[in-house]
A = this chain, B = another copy of it.
Amino acid sequence: MSKRNLFYAQSGGVTPVINASAAGVIQTAKRYPDQIGKVLAGQNGILGALQENLIDTSKERSRAIEGLISTPGGAFGSCRYKLRSFSENRTEYERLIAVFEAHNIGYFLYNGGGDSADTCLKVSQISASMGFPIQAIHIPKTIDNDLPLTDNCPGFGSVAKYVAISTQEAAMDVASMCATSTKVFILEVMGRHAGWIAGASALAANERGDAPHIILFPEIAFDRDRFLKRVAECVERYGYCVIVASEGASTADGKLLSDQGERDAFGHAQLGGLAPLLAEMIRDALGYKYHWAVADYLQRAARHIASQTDVDQAFALGKAAVQAAVAGSNAVMPAIKRTSNRPYRWSIEPVPLSRVANREKKMPRRFITRDGFGITPQARAYFEPLIAGEAYPQYQRGLPRYTRLKQVLVPKRCPSWRKP
């Protein structure tokens, strides 16, 4: 096989460890100088390929590449850009293949969630039909943990760790204030379609009565009366109540709880998120003093307290993707296979992309307690190893020393591109 370049891009929402996968790709590619030329990274994800903005990773210092292992965000830039179907927009795919051909790219490594898995599969199929076959490998990544066929998704373990620690810490704060002040604390976390992140907050609890007392999952229809009853019970029993709510919590008709259809004076939907809405509900019905927090990007970028398991797996999947590429694989995703809970053991196995794309893995019902407000021991056994170990970054003058890349672009060879 002749030597060809490798294209790598980050797609969709970033994670605390997506750059660890990038480091795995770049460092491993160097070990195959006969098969792989340069690693070219798309600037801002797939847009970098369409616009021919290709970052020459060989221009970065090897210390910078090593530094990616402990740097959050997307070091090459990511994007939210879904390629339309082939029939809808043939020119976009043709453009991709033209750029890849111009830069002798034989490997397409795409680091993303469910949508990107679909794009990755299409690139593989279309390149073949266009006579310039490209091996497309998908590297899983999503804090939502909703990809099928893999034990978990890189990014999730670190967010789970951050959310469990934050729940534990905030609960200690509330517990010490509740005699005379705040009785209810609400933490809103991410996970629009699946309750994995919210569920992981339960790791904060060690003993009966420990926070979080109530978890709201997207998988369980929200029932206002049952919820309020439980809040009151907790405050009666423990003196306070800590609630972790997934942003995707919905009512039985499938409508997001946070979308109450209220409009402001200009007719705009009222903002405010789920946490303040629940706070208001509790205040109106029960009158308790409350506090609420919305972690938003803080949870998704919290590399300062990343899980070592997560960092290791993110790196290993980047490495495995390159190894699969040089071994001739195509249209696959290296996935994590759990072989033991305690001690946690895992291996990496490829799964066909056709079985990954566009499928969502929700929290199974057996992971959620019968009352719908907590997690089962089975879920705890699943979550626990994913948050193990503290992969601290290096610090300088009190702040993490995160890596910034130079992002040197390779000269363009194609006509410029305008979005059709």
Q: Mark A160-174, 1 if CB is under 8 A from B, else 0.
A: 010011101110111
Inter-chain contacts of A384 with B (CB < 8 A)? 397-398
Chain B residues within an 8 Å CB radius of A179: 44, 47, 77, 79
What per-residue 1/0 map shows which CB atoms of A220-245 lie under 8 Å from chain B? 00000000000000000000000000
B173 touches A301 (CB 8 A): yes
A177 within 8 A of B: yes
CB within 8 Å of B: which A69-95 residues: 71-81
Q: How far is the CA of A269 from the CA of B339 in the complex (A)?
A: 53
- Say if the beta carbon of A14 comes within 8 Å of chain B: yes
How near does chain B come to A374, taking the closest CB pair, in angstroms? 17
The answer to whether A399 and B165 touch (CB under 8 A), given A73-B176, A79-B179, A301-B172, is yes
Closest to A307 in B: B398
Contact with B along A269-310 (1 / 0, CB 8 A): 001110110011001100000011111111011111101000
State the Cβ distance, A245 to closest chain B Cβ, in Å: 13
Which residues of chain B are near A76, meaning CB under 8 Å? 176
Is A291 touching B298 in the complex (CB atoms < 8 A)?
no
Interface set, chain A 250-285, CB cutoff 8 A to B = 264, 266, 268, 271-273, 275-276, 279-280, 283-284
Q: Of B71, B295, B399, which is within 8 A of A387 by CB? A: B399
**A48 closest partner in B (C-beta):** B179
Does A373 interact with chain B (Cβ within 8 Å)?
A: no
Given contacts A173-B14, A392-B390, contact A79 B297 (CB under 8 A): no
Q: List 14 A-B contacts (CB under 8 A).
A: A13-B177, A44-B180, A73-B169, A74-B176, A79-B177, A165-B399, A169-B304, A204-B399, A268-B283, A273-B276, A293-B295, A295-B298, A384-B397, A390-B392
Chain A: residues with CB nearer than 8 A to chain B?
10, 13-14, 44-45, 47, 71-81, 161, 164-166, 168-170, 172-177, 179-181, 185, 187, 203-204, 264, 266, 268, 271-273, 275-276, 279-280, 283-284, 291-298, 300-305, 307, 384, 387-390, 392, 395, 397-400, 402
